Chain A
Amino acid sequence: MALIDQHEATVLPPRRYRPRPPLFAYLASSPTLLMVVLVVGLPLVYSIWLVLHRANPITRKTTFAGLSNFRNIFKDPAFWEAFGRTLYFTGFALIGTTVIGMAIALVLNKAFFGRGFMRSVMLVPWAMAPVSVAVLWSFIYAGDVGTLNAALNDLGLGAWTQAWLGDGNRALNLVALTHVWNQAPLTALLLLAGLQSMPASLHKAAMLDGAGPVGRFFRITLPWLRPSLLFVCIIATINALMAFDIIWIMTRGGPGQATTVFAWLGYVYSFQFLRFGEGAAMLYVLTALSFACAIVFVLLLGPSRWRRRAQADTANAGAPNVAEAAVKARPVTLEPPKYKAPLLPRRARRLLAKALFRLAVLMIFLWSAVPVLMLLNMSLTPATDLIRTPASIIPSALTLDNFREVLFPDGGTTSTQSKRVPISLMNSFIVGTFTVLIAIALTPFAGYVFARWPRARSFQIGLWGILFTRMTPALTLVLPFFVIYRGLGIIDTRTGLVIAHLSILLPLIAWMMKSTFESVPQSLDRAAIVDGCSRFQMMIRVMIPVIRPGLVAAAIFGFLVSWNEFLFAMILTSTPDAQTIPVVLSGYLQQARFHEYGPMFAASVLSILPPVIIAFVFQRYLVQGALSGAVKG
């Protein structure tokens, strides 16, 4: 008896016990919290002020408007149409990313030759900037010379060619599909982590208990993945609700209003109609929607109530000494289940399963890599080939001219847009590096404090604040940034961009650091202190070296986020001095001069080079970054 029950005596501190953090905790976390208040809190407060006021763009007078901005948008039929489209887009994206992500995760969870390589390939669409993704896919779907039409021509199916994004409904579906292509790897990654934490014995046991592959998926795998699925659904929904870059590049809300979702409508209200209050109201509706969806998912997939811990008294009643009870005979002697000889012999079934599995791996490769390889192909195709009719995907020759044009612009022939590419690559690199360096210098201290004193009220508020910013569209912050920067005179500077990117990266990396420190046993802190370290020395000499892999992961991940960021970079820069590569890429499309497709694809390839290298060389860190709570869109 006593032997059995002593396992249950896990000592938990009483719920209400909140240890008072030492002064060190406040000192260590204050730089990060202060920065977050500055770069996130301040713009957020300003946007709340905006939403409560009405500005007259002509007289430049603002008056307090209360909630009338919300009333106005609710009266606008365009709002409700966009609402419907947002729900459709989000539903499409949620189902698409979950189904495809699940399929990828299940396949890549099996051991096979080349799995590491396939995992890297699978990650590429997600590591790429949404702008690069959209540039690629908008050309694939383009009318006349688009890749899809060219491929159809080559296959002799010329009759099927069309302007794929020309029809409203189809455009919405295709944009959503592109979003799915971009986001499914994230879902796959998170589910893969869930699958890998599943003990192998679980499936073996179920197999012996007579469950087939389908039964095991629904009865064992899915329930096991429930916590991961909850997280995945929330992240996928938020990312779909906030999707902006892809729409900006591919359709700009069109044709007509067919792809005008909330994020786009909020952008149009704010930056085209200059109705800031209503634009901000629109975006806060988006925040509310994010929260609502998150709550729905928690209710649907969260820990279920019926599994409440049983009362302690039934626990004791339930452990009689077995030795005292006589072994009773079975009530019914069960017949062994009838063995039906299967249709195919076991060997054949195994071969068939193997073939199907190979096919699945091939499909994942095609899905992930072919569009990227097409991009590479187009960047090596002579610019004139890209606009020939009838279109063809087979280049007449392979050339490096496009790369030469964007990397070594010369005075005469190079277009203005192409001349901007080298500088923008450098800008992207500088901005990314500085943002990451600042974030990495500050956040380990805050992360440590969050991990060690999670119950201290002040830090809990900080953590909830970080979560809240995750549910706020970047569009909400960008307008305040714009206004503040104009006042400070740092618009169109790399410094300004670094600060803006910090508003994304600080919360993200602080969260990652928190998860990283949670995996460091607390005995290490105690050992360091007993060995004579001050708290600060403990951080520098013991903790930082211990979490170095986590730090590297955060740095790589943060750099990628900054490198791929589009919205802030677009709104807060205007000249090549500070423009980053996604902005220059998008500029190509605005000019839409046919002969520039070649250089545009060369620039695209350059823009996805760091993400692809990271996916292949630093895959481990990228995965670790994504798993330690980083939830980049």
Chain B
Amino acid sequence: MSSINVENVRKDYGGVKALHSVSLDIKDGEFVSLLGPSGCGKSTLLYCVAGLEEISGGRVLFNGNDVADRGARERNIALVFQDYALYPHMSVRENIAFPLRRQKLDSALVTKQVNWAAELLGLTGLLDRSPSDLSGGQRQRVAVGRAIVRNPAALLMDEPLSNLDAGLRVHMRTEIKRLARELGLTVLFVTHDQEEAMVMSDRIAVLSNGHLQQFDDPMTVYRNPINRFVAEFIGSPKMNILPAPNGNAKIIIGARPHDMNLVKDGKANTDDFAVTGTLAMVEPAGHVYFLDVEVGGTLVKATTADIGWSAGRR
């Protein structure tokens, strides 16, 4: 395992600037998520670290060593692709063994390692299958197996869960986090799902349009977003953005729906921030109700645990 330092990395595709001077310092054994809307440069950054793309400027260091002179083959990086990229003509066993065989390891050792990885991921009974005979979740685990079977300097994952259905996604994110911690892997995990990033990571790097917005631990990113983009991107439902009550146009107020509750009888504490509006819609979400409240032409989302009203009342 290594630490990874990304220093002022830029990437241009012809005229398109995919990354503008991004810097990250990832510690050995740390789990870092790259979070951002699609097209913001997450995959590009991952590929730059892996050596699959040439960087246009800046440096990438593994354990303090500049790896500019190493191609993707020589960086000892493992990458789990969004489409898993399993070799379709090889069995699961051969897929997992592939990186070891490229290192010309002794075949007994290869078998041992493959069996270990298969057992770890619950693939033992599937080793002789072809990838086309696997379900999405199984393929995903084969891809992870192929990545961890050798001892990679870092494990990069490019939206590995986005092709799974909701339940499996939740299950797998716990699995991956556990695996990473117990094997002490340095992980760079790409996702556009803020919840995924929150629950999995030690730190989250929020990207937008090729710019790094914020790089902090999940709760800091949630509680102290550095700017409006981060504030709006993190948290579901989205944060409400409201004008300041004192009329100062330079200040806007962000309030998370979970922090906006109904006040009984229209009496709020004087030091609380309060708005009044028309209730447009109620969305039951199980543990809470989401309320769409129309305040001066904009919809504000709020929550309440208990509601005695119906839509349309003030």
With an 8 A cutoff between CB atoms, is A205 at the interface?
yes
Determine if A15 is an interface residue (Cβ-Cβ < 8 Å): no
CB pair B123–A204 under 8 Å, yes or no, is no
Q: Does A208 make an interface contact (CB < 8 A)?
A: yes
Say yes or no for A23: interface residue by CB 8 A criterion: no
What's the Cα separation between A68 and B243 when bound, in Å?
100
CB distance from A198 to the nearest CB of B (A): 10
Residues of B near A212 (CB, < 8 A) are: 73
Determine whether the beta carbon of B76 is less than 8 Å from that of A337: yes
* Per-position binary interface string of chain A over residues 316-351, scored 1 when its CB falls under 8 Å from any chain B CB and 0 otherwise: 011111110101101111111101011001100000
The reply to whether A341 and B120 form a contact with Cβ atoms under 8 Å apart is no
Q: Which of A202, A307, A327 contacts B182 (CB 8 A)?
A: A327
Given contacts A325-B122, A328-B120, contact A224 B89 (CB under 8 A): yes
Assuming the contacts A320-B122, A325-B122, asked whether A309 and B87 have C-beta atoms less than 8 A apart, the reply is: no
Kindly specify which of A1-9, A180-188, A270-278 makes contact with the partner chain: A1-9
Cβ contact of B167, chosen from A3, A314, A321, A333, cutoff 8 A:
A3
A323 touches B79 (CB 8 A): no
Tell me whether B183 and A208 are in contact (CB under 8 A): no
- Specify which of A309, A314, A333 is in contact with B151 (CB 8 Å cutoff): A333
Q: Residues of B contacting A330 with CB < 8 Å?
A: 113, 116, 151, 183
- Contact partners of B146 in chain A: CB under 8 A: 205, 209
User: Which A-chain residue is minimally distant from B102 (CB atoms)?
Assistant: A210
Do A4 and B137 touch across chains, with their CB atoms under 8 A apart? yes
- Is A346's CB under 8 angstroms from B70's CB? yes
Check A327 against B174 for contact (C-beta < 8 Å). no
Q: Would B116 and A8 count as touching, CB distance under 8 A?
A: no
**Which range holds the interface residue count of chain A?**
35 or more
Binary CB contact string for chain B from 59 to 87 against chain A (1 if under 8 A, 0 otherwise): 00000000011111111111101110101
Which of B69, B130, B183 touches A327 (beta carbons < 8 Å)? B183
Over the window 143-170 of chain B, the binary record of Cβ atoms lying under 8 Å from chain A Cβ atoms (1 yes, 0 no) is: 0001000110100000000000101100
A116 within 8 A of B: no
Residue of A nearest to B129 (CB): A310
A328: contacting residue among B76, B119, B124, CB under 8 A? B119
Q: Is residue B125 within 8 Å, beta carbon to beta carbon, of the partner chain?
A: yes
In angstroms, how far is the closest chain A Cβ from the Cβ of B3? 14
Is A318 within 8 A of B125, CB to CB? yes
Given contacts A204-B85, A209-B146, A330-B113, contact A5 B133 (CB under 8 A): no
From B69, which residue of chain A is reached at the shortest CB distance? A346
A318, B112: Cα distance in complex, Å: 18
Q: Are B87 and A319 in contact (CB under 8 A)?
A: no
Query: Of residues A220, A332, A334, A346, which shows the largest number of chain B Cβ atoms within 10 Å of its Cβ?
Result: A334
Q: Which of A204, A315, A327, A333 contacts B52 (CB 8 A)?
A: A204
Bound state CA distance, A632 and B50, in angstroms? 45
Q: In the assembled complex, how far is the CB of residue A347 from the closest CB belonging to chain B, in whole angstroms? A: 9
Residue of A6, A206, A224 touching B88 (CB-CB under 8 A): A224
Q: What 1/0 flags go to B277-299 for Cβ under 8 Å of A? A: 00000000000000000000000
Cα distance A480–B130 in the bound complex, in angstroms = 51
Q: A208-B52, A309-B133, A327-B179 are in contact. Are A322 and B113 (CB under 8 A)?
A: no
Can you list 15 residue pairs at the A/B interface with Cβ under 8 Å? A6-B135, A7-B135, A201-B82, A204-B85, A223-B90, A309-B133, A318-B125, A323-B171, A327-B120, A327-B179, A330-B113, A332-B113, A334-B103, A334-B151, A342-B69
Given A208-B99, A334-B151, list of 9 further CB < 8 A pairs?
A3-B167, A6-B135, A205-B81, A207-B71, A208-B77, A211-B102, A223-B88, A319-B122, A346-B68
The 9 closest A-B pairs by CB, nearest first: A318-B125, A7-B135, A210-B102, A201-B85, A223-B89, A209-B99, A205-B85, A318-B126, A327-B182
